[in-house]
């Protein structure tokens, strides 16, 4: 296969003309995206732009063309989600989706089911990152507040010690102070080996933490750049179509 | 008074057998939402496997069952892997149709192989041994062994589900199969393992089915009904509830039979309907469903 490199030789994860379908409905039309080692990128866009679809496709929940997703130069499109986790990509799904019949600690433990090898993140370290989870470790996961559930969902994904952490709308439905608490954990997550792709409705938050931003519009890439290079006019145009 | 106590005690013991029938069904439905219409026939199939091993190797039924367990577990894994996993999806109809067909195939296969003669798993002296609890109140040793096995099996299933990594994966897959995959869980492998575990429970059920009474290739579906009733009375997803459900049907049947021998089966079904009217979600429903 021809080795195509995107913007950088250090690309950790690349999407090449990535398409995705729900049955007959095409949701992504050839997305090109690069995530470099150590980077945080944010994907923004209106509802239905294909942001969550993109993450689901990378994680293997939706079928990708074989060379549509490339990790470390190796095509991983079309692999089963369980295999993709083992290769080092973890998804924090939209809506948290903790397992209701498992306790908080069990939810975290099951996150390590597919872990590749021993890495930085362990149960004690995650309890250090989110102390409130340690206090409520025995509680049923549904007894947690929304913010605590979001922390648990992130911790669950980190238990696999991913190299790529995909976060789908982690601020959705949470109070601003809670969102700040969750985003405060991001530097430590990055410092310990994970590069991050955030899907965010909250543009201000996204621009604050991201090294680069991609804006999707109706399944296509409308705009990309560093937050400092983007003006509210260009973003507005990319968001809604000029 | 002793007479009534005796009747109820017999019912409780019988309930242990029904709980065993139900536990395997409950396990499969709980994990993969598969209504296994061939469950009763798989129990009968297992009983014939035990019978075959007894004859071939000259073993007693307990030892033969122990040997049958890994064989049946492997068969269960293969059955799920090759056939039943393909029927699972959003639609509930394909698994119903396929397990219904499987039921017919098993019955006819057994008829062809073993004929319609009724069989028994002979265990010798233990079959007629009994212990007198108080003067006038006696219970068969085999009855006690069956009930203890039912309690032991349910205890074991609870330990497996709530104390092991595999059990955690079972529960997670049951809760949310899509997200379970994101944890690195291969759902299909998990489902096949669940069927293997269910086949071990089926082996235990088969042992006591065949020791307690005669069996022939066609009696599976009737056992399936008692199993269904016990599962629904207990509430889906609770193994202890399944035991309670089995006991309620068992006691209703023996009490019904004591009033009029023709009422045995009817009384069990009436008890089931009564629970369905009063507690439609069963006695011990799982919180979220």
Could you report the per-residue pLDDT of A191-221, keeping only the tens digit for each? 999 999 999 988 888 889 999 999 999 999 9
Poorest-pLDDT segment among A25-34, A115-124, A150-159: A115-124
Architecture (CATH level 2) of domain B2-278: Orthogonal Bundle (1.10)
Q: Which of A85, A100, A101 sits opposite B183 (nearest CB)?
A: A85
Domain ranges of chain B: 2-278
Report the percentage of chain A scoring pLDDT > 90: 78
Confidence of residue A115 (pLDDT cuts 50, 70, 90): confident
Q: Which residue of A has its CA nearest to B287?
A: A101
Start-to-end CA span in chain A (Å): 38
The mean pLDDT value for A54-81 works out to: 95
Which pLDDT score, from 0 to 100, does residue B205 have? 97
User: Which range has highest mean pLDDT (A113-122, B123-132, B162-171)?
Assistant: B162-171
Confidence of residue B287 (pLDDT cuts 50, 70, 90): low
* Binary contact (B182, A100; C-beta < 8 A): no
Confidence of residue B93 (pLDDT cuts 50, 70, 90): very high
Which pLDDT score, from 0 to 100, does residue A119 have? 87
The mean pLDDT value for A40-62 works out to: 94
Give B 143-182 residues with CB within 8 A of chain A: 165, 168-169, 171-172, 174-176, 178-182
Bridge partners of residue A44, in order along the sequence:
A215
Report the percentage of chain B scoring pLDDT > 70: 99
Poorest-pLDDT segment among A20-34, A224-238, B207-221: A224-238
Could you report the per-residue pLDDT of A76-96, keeping only the tens digit for each? 999 999 999 999 999 999 999
Q: Which of A60, A99, A113 sits opposite B176 (nearest CB)?
A: A99
Taking contacts as CB-CB distances below 8 angstroms, the residues of chain A near B176 are 97, 99
pLDDT value at A229 more than 90: no
Poorest-pLDDT segment among A7-11, B90-94, B119-123: A7-11
> What is the arrangement of strands in the sheet containing A89-92, beginning at the earlier edge strand?
A89-92, A164-168, A195-199, A40-44, A212-217, A220-225
ipTM of predicted assembly, 2 dp: 0.89
Which pLDDT score, from 0 to 100, does residue B137 have? 87
pLDDT value at A117 more than 80: no
User: Does any CB of chain A come closer than 8 Å to the CB of residue B60?
Assistant: no
d(CA B102, CA B87): 13
3-state secondary structure of B119: strand
The per-residue pLDDT of chain B, averaged, comes to 93
Q: Which residue of B has its CA nearest to A86?
A: B184
Count CA atoms closer than 13 A to A82's CA, side-chain side. 16
Which pLDDT score, from 0 to 100, does residue B284 have? 85
d(CA B139, CA A233): 86
Which pLDDT score, from 0 to 100, does residue A116 have? 59
Which pLDDT score, from 0 to 100, does residue A1 have? 38
Domains of chain A (ranges, CATH numbers)? 11-240 (3.40.50.300)
pLDDT value at B238 more than 50: yes
Q: Which of A61, A114, A142 sits opposite B183 (nearest CB)?
A: A114
Could you report the per-residue pLDDT of B167-202, keeping only the tens digit for each? 999 999 999 999 999 999 999 999 999 999 999 999
The mean pLDDT value for A58-83 works out to: 94
Tokens 């080692």 locate to A37
Could you report the per-residue pLDDT of A131-156, keeping only the tens digit for each? 999 999 999 999 999 999 999 999 99
Confidence of residue B289 (pLDDT cuts 50, 70, 90): very low
Which pLDDT score, from 0 to 100, does residue A242 have? 57
CA-wise closest residue to B192 among B35, B23, B32: B32
pLDDT value at B140 more than 80: yes
């Amino acid at each position: 296969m021809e080795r195509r490199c995107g913007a950088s030789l250090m690309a950790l994860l690349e999407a090449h003309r990535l398409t995705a379908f729900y049955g007959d409905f095409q949701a992504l039309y050839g997305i090109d995206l690069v995530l470099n080692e150590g980077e945080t990128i944010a994907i923004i866009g209106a509802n239905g732009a294909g942001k969550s679809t993109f993450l689901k496709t990378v994680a293997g929940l939706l079928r990708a063309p074989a060379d549509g997703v490339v990790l470390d130069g190796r095509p991983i499109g079309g692999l089963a989600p369980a295999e993709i986790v083992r290769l080092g990509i973890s998804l924090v799904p939209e809506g948290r989706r903790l397992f209701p019949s498992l306790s908080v600690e069990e939810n975290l433990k099951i996150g390590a089911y597919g872990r590749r090898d021993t890495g930085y993140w362990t149960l004690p370290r995650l309890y250090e990152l989110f102390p409130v989870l340690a206090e409520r470790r025995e509680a049923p996961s549904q007894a947690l507040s929304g913010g605590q559930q979001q922390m648990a969902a992130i911790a669950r994904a980190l238990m696999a010690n991913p190299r790529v952490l995909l976060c789908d709308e982690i601020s959705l439905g949470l109070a601003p102070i809670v969102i700040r608490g969750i985003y405060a954990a991001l530097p430590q997550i990055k410092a310990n080996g994970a590069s991050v792709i955030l899907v965010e409705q909250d543009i201000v938050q996204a621009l604050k933490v991201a090294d680069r931003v991609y804006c999707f519009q109706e399944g296509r890439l409308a705009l990309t750049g560093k937050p400092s290079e983007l003006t509210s006019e260009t973003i507005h145009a990319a968001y809604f179509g000029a | 008074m002793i007479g009534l106590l005796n009747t109820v005690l017999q019912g409780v013991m019988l309930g242990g057998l029904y709980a065993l029938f139900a536990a395997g069904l409950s396990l499969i439905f709980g994990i993969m939402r598969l209504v296994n219409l061939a469950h009763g026939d798989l129990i009968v199939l297992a009983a014939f496997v035990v019978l075959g091993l007894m004859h071939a190797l000259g073993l007693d039924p307990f030892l033969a069952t122990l040997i049958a367990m890994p064989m049946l577990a492997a068969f269960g894994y293969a059955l799920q892997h090759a056939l039943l996993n393909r029927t699972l999806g959003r639609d509930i109809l394909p698994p119903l149709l396929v397990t219904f067909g499987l039921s017919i195939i098993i019955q006819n296969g057994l008829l062809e192989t073993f004929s319609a003669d009724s069989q028994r798993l002979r265990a010798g002296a233990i079959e007629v041994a009994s212990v007198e609890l108080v003067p006038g109140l006696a219970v068969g040793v085999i009855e006690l062994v069956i009930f203890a096995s039912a309690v032991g099996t349910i205890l074991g299933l609870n330990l497996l589900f709530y104390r092991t990594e595999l059990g955690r994966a079972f529960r997670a897959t049951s809760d949310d199969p899509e997200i379970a995959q994101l944890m690195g869980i291969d759902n299909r492998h998990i489902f096949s393992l669940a069927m293997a575990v269910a086949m071990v429970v089926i082996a235990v059920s088969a042992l006591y089915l065949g020791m307690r009474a005669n069996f022939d290739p066609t009696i599976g579906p009737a056992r399936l009904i008692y199993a269904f009733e016990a599962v629904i009375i207990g509430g889906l997803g609770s193994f202890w509830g399944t035991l309670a459900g089995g006991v309620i049907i068992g006691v209703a049947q023996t009490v019904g039979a004591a009033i009029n021998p023709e009422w045995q089966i009817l009384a069990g079904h009436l008890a089931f309907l009564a629970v369905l009217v009063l507690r439609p979600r069963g006695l011990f429903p799982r919180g979220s469903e």
